[in-house]
Structures are given as structure tokens and as C-alpha cells.
Structure 1
């Protein structure tokens, strides 16, 4: 994901590239101007494949009844490898046929304009490297499991695939208007940590939840977070934190609702919201459609 501040991005990218360089993982690898690279399949260790298998088995077992049908159907359609890190080229054969998207390998976070340009051209930039055993259920920077298992199944759905492309196009415009903070919140509270209301109850579609065992449970079952009805303006004014589980989840009624709400030109919306009060991540405000008011207790990553 390319939504950190310039200073955060430069620090994270420099650290990740140095880490990969020091480990010899970038030797012989060409990093292109758009930050893509050939997926270094030969670099994956047995430990990498074992971590992928453990995470895949864990999430595949627990997500039925928690993840939305769209995600589960996308995972099945992709036929994603269970016992080893997937070959992006094999995923792309199915993904391209379904919605014209493809996965491209990157070394980690990429600059905002690069990230948005990839999305606008139906390319999803996925970190190629795998987390360590100590990071099995949480890490701040997205790895291959988060990006591929968490994000790619949703790109099988035509409406969500179009939403992601529109988001990329909107990001390029938001940069010019100085509104990336507002647009980043939309990504955070939908693509990364979104919930959807279905006839069977609340379900998960956000990649940050479906790729985490503990947050898959917390997002639906825990009494601590707020669960609020989707409101575009409210989301764009709401801060988020990356050091705890979410204090608030926003719930859509359908992917059509999400796409329709974000279809118009955001230029006047940015101007309208620029000088308005912003909200803390845990806030409940007048006018909120409250599906569940949280207890206010501090969540903690575990």
C-alpha cells in the first residue's frame, strides 16, 4: 500500500530495501522505474513456504461464516496455492480472464503516485517477501500474504475491481489537490478494514482483517470497537491508528453502494471537508448510523 506520509514512506522503503540488499535478496534483481520486479521465485525458502501454508490453512479454516461470499468465491476462483507461495504469473492467468487485473511484484511500499498509477491501470502491487515466524498474525508493513491472500480474491469481483481502478485514478487527482489524507482514510476503512452487511449478518471484506486471525475474530465478535454505517464524508474526516486493532469499523450494505458513493468527482468534496473538524478513531458523532457502540476499552494487538 502506498498511503503513508512521504517521510514515513522514505524511511520504510529505505529500511526494507536495505534489509533485502543486506540479505542478498536483491542480487541480480532489476527494480524498474515503476518499482516492479520479477517475482524472485527462487528466493523463497522452505520457511517462507511453511509460513504461507500455515497462514493459508489458518485463515481458510476460519473465514467461512466470517468473510463475505465475494471474498470466498474469489479465493476459490483463483485456485491459489495452499502449500507454497503462489506464482504471480499463474494467478494472473485467472485474474486477467475475470476482470483484466494483474498482480505485479514490488519490494514493499511504493511511492503514492506509483501506487495510484498501478491501480488506475488495473495492476495490483504486491510485496514479494514473506513475514517471519514472529510476525505470524500482525505486521505493520504488508507482506506477500497480506497483499495476495488478503487483496487479490476481491479483484475477481467486477464491481470491486472497478472500484479499485477508480480509487487509483482518484488518487492521482487527490495528490494534485493536497487531499491524500482524506482519500487514504477511505482506503483504510474500506479496502483494508471494511465490513459488509449481508442477509446472514456482518461479514468481512477488508484485506487487513481477512489476513489476520485475531482481527477476523475481533472485527465481528468483540464488544470494544464501534461499527458504524458507511458514510463517505464521515470516513474522510476520521483518523485511524496502525498500532492497535481498529476502534471503529464502517459497514457497507453492498459493493454497489460503495462504488456509487465514490463515483462522483471528489474535487468539491475535498473543498467542503478541508476546514471541517476531524474525528478521533474511537469517536461516536451525532448523525452516525450506529450498528454497535463500542465499550471504549483500548484494543491491543495480540
Structure 2
């Protein structure tokens, strides 16, 4: 295929995956027979641990949607998840060998197809894995695609991503994805709760993002988030907080072209840098 995945965050190792199995759009069939009993056991252990940590830390939107993912004892079959997901919001999941390039990624999202890595982490990676595996993608991302507002937001993001690719603005848009869909927080129950997949699939970051005094938590503003750098192999140093899910869809429906032009004239912001006058959201 010749086109390597783009990773804007910093990491000490490249993403892995067997891309020889992928079709032109980078999708591949889920080779369900290839999963070992150890693979299924790893998925079950991860699911049990994460689901036990959700109360008081995860968004109620996510907690309510999680049962729709299906049985937790074994790695789900994509076609079985799709039967429920398509009926709920018109989305489906498709297998991919790992991280994929931007334009194919955006194209899939624009078609309401969510790419899910079909391999699972090794036992020695149980606590932490840099690149997304099937547990991160399924447990972290898919439940909220049963939510109509998030389902529409992710599609709108994909459509916007195709436009950003034409304008050479993918890196700026990737930061919005990172700080919302992957590592977003939402105001709930008199505090903040996690809705981002990167948080929800991480035992350590779930608690850290909601309760630790160390990171900065700021109200989500498009320009601020799209200027802010991030790393992919540590807990986040800054989180952006939305008031409700509808706020995401409202943001995604804006015309980003003028904003990209404006952002090109401004410096990036460090991952834990505060700007003058910014007020942190308390926990």
C-alpha cells in the first residue's frame, strides 16, 4: 500500500500490525479462529477490571451503553456487535490491522464505519499498551457509538477530516479527536467524568483523569484544544471538559476552514502549559 500510519504524538516505538492482510481501504476480516484461549482470557480480565472501576469515574452515558457491547467472557465477533449497533445508530465496526493512515480513517468514519484493531495485547502488556488493540477499540469506543449524539459527532468528524486533509490541517484536527473522543471529560454529578476511550480503557488513567490534582482540566474550546500538543505514551497533562454531549456535535458542525488559517499563524501550546487568565476546573 505504501502509505504508513501517521502518529502526531511522540512515542519511542512505531505502531505494529500485519498490514499485508488489509484491503485497499485498510480493512481486514476478523480472523476469529486465530484467537487463542489466552487471548479470550486476556479480554475477559481486562473487561472485568475496567467495568468494576467505572462507577463514579465514567460518564453515565458510557455506563448505560456498555451492556450493548455484548458478552464479556470472550472477544466479541464483529458481526454480532454490528447486528445491535446498526439497528441502534446505523454504525458498524470493521476490522483493521492496527493504526491506519488519516484519509482512509476519515473515509471510514464518514461512512459510519468504525475501524477496530483485531489483535489483542500480549499478557505482559496487560497494564499498558501504547497502540490501540481490540480491547481499547471495542470497550473504549464502541459503547458510545450506540448514543445517537456521539454517533453523529464521530461521523461529522470523519467528514471534517476529509476536508482537513485537502487543506493540510490534519494535525490540528487530530488534536481535537485526541482531546475529545480519546481523552475527553464531561461535567456530570457535580464534578467531571470520563467519556474518552483512551481513559475508559485504562485502569490507571481512569482514576487519574477524574481525581488527581496533577493534570490541568480546562473547558473545551476549539482553538485551545487544536493548538495543544500531546503525548501518546503517558497520562495526559491537560484534559478538556465538555458541558454535555450535544456540545461536541455543535462543534463538529462548524466551518473549520477559517479556523485552520487562523491557527497556522499561532504557536502551539505545550501539553501542560497554561495561558494567561485560564481558570482550571476543580475536581
Q: Mark yes or no: TM-score above 0.5.
A: yes
Looking at structure 2, the residues matched to 67 and 172 of structure 1 have their Cα atoms a distance apart, in angstroms, of: 31
Q: Any runs of at least 4 consecutive aligned residues in structure 1 with deviations exceeding 3 A, and if so which?
A: none
- The total of aligned residue pairs comes to 278
CA contact (8 A) 1:225 1:247 kept: yes
CA contact (8 A) 2:199 2:205 kept: yes
Q: Give the RMSD, CA atoms, in angstroms.
A: 2.0
- Spell out, residue by residue over 1:235-293, the C-alpha distance to the aligned partner (whole angstroms, 9 max, x if none): 01100012311000100000111211221110001011111121100011124342149
- Spell out, residue by residue over 1:171-202, the C-alpha distance to the aligned partner (whole angstroms, 9 max, x if none): 11111111111100000000000000013421
Shift, 1:79, TM fit? 4.3
2:211 maps to 221
Q: Tell me the SS of whatever aligns to 1:16.
A: coil
Structure 2 counterpart of 1:40, from 20, 31, 34: 31
CA contact (8 A) 1:49 1:85 kept: yes
C-alpha spacing 1:261/1:289, structure 2 compared with 1 (3 Å): farther
Looking at structure 1, the residues matched to 229 and 110 of structure 2 have their Cα atoms a distance apart, in angstroms, of: 25
Shift, 1:221, TM fit? 1.4
- Spell out, residue by residue over 1:194-239, the C-alpha distance to the aligned partner (whole angstroms, 9 max, x if none): 0000134211100000001001111111111011111111001100
Mapping 1:1-302, distance limit 5 Å = 4=7, 12=14, 15-17=16-18, 31-76=22-67, 78-292=68-282
Shift, 1:101, TM fit? 0.3
CA contact (8 A) 2:184 2:241 kept: yes
Shift, 1:81, TM fit? 1.7
Looking at structure 1, the residues matched to 144 and 127 of structure 2 have their Cα atoms a distance apart, in angstroms, of: 21
Q: Which has the higher contact order (CA 8 A, sep 6+)?
A: 2
CA contact (8 A) 2:69 2:142 kept: no
Unpaired runs of at least 5, structure 2: none
CA contact (8 A) 1:49 1:84 kept: yes
CA contact (8 A) 2:185 2:242 kept: yes
Unpaired runs of at least 5, structure 1: 19-25, 294-302
Looking at structure 2, the residues matched to 3 and 251 of structure 1 have their Cα atoms a distance apart, in angstroms, of: 26
Q: Tell me the SS of whatever aligns to 2:116.
A: strand
Q: Normalised by the size of structure 1, how large is the TM-score?
A: 0.88
Name whichever of 252-261 and 114-123 sits farther off.
252-261
Name whichever of 207-216 and 257-266 sits farther off.
257-266
Shift, 1:12, TM fit? 4.1
Looking at structure 2, the residues matched to 266 and 274 of structure 1 have their Cα atoms a distance apart, in angstroms, of: 12
